[in-house]
Structures are given as structure tokens and as C-alpha cells.
Amino acid sequence: MIQKVMVIGAGQMGSGIAQVCAQAGYTVVLNDMKEEFFQRGIGVITKNLTRDVEKGRKTEEEKQAILERITMSLDLQDAKDVDIVIEAAVENMEVKQSIFKQLDTIAPKHAILATNTSSLPITEIAAVTTRPEQVIGMHFMNPVPVMKLVEIIRGLATADEVYKAVEEMTLKLSKTPVEVNDFPGFISNRILMPMINEAIYALYEGVASKEAIDDVMKMGMNHPMGPLTLADFIGLDTCLYIMEILHEGFGDSKYRPCPLLRKYVAAGWLGKKSGRGFYVYN
């Protein structure tokens, strides 16, 4: 029975996950390395909840009750009495394996260890623990409070009852769970990133302007934003990183990152966050 949740990482994804867990009535321990990171995360959560109150979606009492369910943690030892840990640290295999190795010795025997990775193999993360059957992927979409989907990824050893518990939790968070097996990029990024990469190739080869490429996908395919705009929002460095994981994982040239994408990343044109990507942001 999942009641107490630890979320590791108070960044954009982690704070969003902590918010939806607290909204669903779970007790949440939000862990990060520094108090300032936690405070920044709690600031974002408070802002989101205040907006809900202003729009009449929640009462001030509900907002306060949700915030009271979230406590700060600066030490992984705080995982000693939780039922599930959802790790939302940086997208780096060594970092994740190091966290999972520590959690394996700290978290209670029954605890599920979940990762919010968007592309790294669950099986490989699970391999550093003595409980690979209790390791699973919970890939939330950004922004977490708004987006309905959670990709639940089974590692090679993930037990059925662990999958079931995570699926039930996802439904309790008012999200839609989708079951996926552990292959590079899962489903979301395996399909999305090559589409973005292909759009970059079309620009690189001079097939059409960036505006034209985005308009075709927006107006012709009913996508809410064009692939080049979306790449800028995701971060071109992130897009390149995931394309490299797909390319390496499958060894297939169809996943080869476009040279223009590499060039932009090398130039520091990373999209919206750096002020310039395919488009210029002020």
C-alpha cells in the first residue's frame, strides 16, 4: 500500500511530481542536495496552486493542506520509511545508478524504486540494486501538473505486482498510465525525437523554411506546436542527447542526429532556455 512518497530532485519535473502526489493525498518527502533547490521547487508548486485558487479550481484551505503534505529532505537517509521513491535527478546514467545503489541500502524492503528517466534503460538502473523486480520507470510528461500521460516502463525483471501498484498510483494521481517495455526511448521519445530530427534535416537540406516546416505540422497534422518550436522548448541539447541514445541503442542509421542539430548545440544555441535555437527568444 503506497502512502509515503519520496521524490528526488526538486527541479521542474521533481517539483511537478511532488505537487501531483501531494494533491492526491500522499505524504511527500521532496529531496534535493541544497535547501535553495528545495525552496525554488516549493516556490513553483505554491505558484501553481495559487493560480488554481485564483481560477476557482481549489480553495485556499486545499492549497494549504497540499503544501503541508510536502516536507524537505536534504539527505537520502530520509528514504528509510517511504513506500516508493520517484527519482527525477539529472538525465545521466552514472548519477542515477549511484542514487539507486544508495536507495537500495536505505529504503525499506517493500519499497518500490521508480525513475522518471525519459530515455535511459530501466534494466541497467535496476542492475545496481538487489531488488531489480521492484525497479520501474515512471516517465511523467512536462509540465507534470497539466499533462495526463505517465509512461510506465517495465525493466527486464520488474514484477507484475510492482507494475500493478504503480499503475494504481498513477490513476490516483488522475493520470493515464501506459505500459511500455524497456527499449531505447520507450515510446514517447522513440517516435517524437526522430520526427523532430527529420524536421531539422528538412531545414538543413533547404526543403523549406523553419516557419513553413512548423506550419505544415501545426495546420496539416493538427500538432499544437511545430517540431522546430517544440525542439526549442525541450532544449536542443536534450534532443541531441536522446537521439544519441536511440542511435547507440539500436545501431540504426535512421536515428543518426542531424549535423545541424549538433552544430547548434556546439554553438550554445540550445533553444528557449539559452535565448536562441531555431528561433530567437528575448
Q: Are residues 24 and 133 in the same domain?
A: yes
Q: Are residues 92 and 134 in the same domain?
A: yes
Position 278 in a domain: no
Q: Are residues 242 and 105 in the same domain?
A: no
Q: Where is the domain boundary, 123, 149, 181?
A: 181
Q: Are residues 141 and 196 in the same domain?
A: no
Q: Are residues 135 and 230 in the same domain?
A: no
Q: Are residues 194 and 261 in the same domain?
A: yes
Our answer to whether residue 189 is catalytic in this structure is yes
Q: Are residues 89 and 69 in the same domain?
A: yes
Q: Are residues 111 and 218 in the same domain?
A: no
CATH of the domain at 29: 3.40.50.720
Q: Are residues 158 and 202 in the same domain?
A: no
Position 238 in a domain: yes
In angstroms, the CA 231 to CA 193 distance is: 9
Position 282 in a domain: no
Q: Where is the domain boundary, 163, 181, 199?
A: 181
Position 220 in a domain: yes
What does the pLDDT read at residue 268? 98
Position 149 in a domain: yes
In angstroms, the CA 261 to CA 198 distance is: 11
Q: Where is the domain boundary, 162, 181, 200?
A: 181
Grid cell at residue 19: 505537487
In angstroms, the CA 23 to CA 64 distance is: 11
Q: Are residues 39 and 80 in the same domain?
A: yes
Task: Please indicate, yes or no, whether the overall pTM of this predicted structure exceeds 0.85.
Answer: yes
Q: Can you give the residue range of the structural domain that contains 257? A: 189-273
Could you say which of 31, 119, 139, 197 is catalytic? 139
Could you say which of 48, 87, 116, 151 is catalytic? 151
Could you say which of 31, 73, 189, 197 is catalytic? 189
Our answer to whether residue 110 is catalytic in this structure is no
Query: Would you call 218 exposed, middle or buried from its count of C-beta atoms within 10 A (0-12, 13-18, 19+)?
Result: middle
Position 280 in a domain: no
Q: N- to C-terminal Cα distance for the chain?
A: 48
pLDDT by 10s per residue, the chain, length 282: 899 999 999 999 999 999 999 999 999 999 999 999 999 999 999 999 999 999 999 999 999 999 999 999 999 999 999 999 999 999 999 999 999 999 999 999 999 999 999 999 999 999 999 999 999 999 999 999 999 999 999 999 999 999 999 999 999 999 999 999 999 999 999 999 999 999 999 999 999 999 999 999 999 999 999 999 999 999 999 999 999 999 999 999 999 999 999 999 999 999 999 999 999 998
Q: Are residues 18 and 138 in the same domain?
A: yes
Our answer to whether residue 209 is catalytic in this structure is no
Grid cell at residue 94: 552514472
Grid cell at residue 52: 488554481
Our answer to whether residue 151 is catalytic in this structure is yes
Position 153 in a domain: yes
CATH of the domain at 260: 1.10.1040.10
Position 241 in a domain: yes
Could you say which of 118, 222, 244, 274 is catalytic? 118
Contact present, 4 and 29 (Cβ < 8 Å): yes
Q: Are residues 43 and 86 in the same domain?
A: yes
Query: In 3D, which of 119, 105, 110 has the Cα closest to residue 244?
Result: 119
* Number of domains observed in the structure of the chain: 2
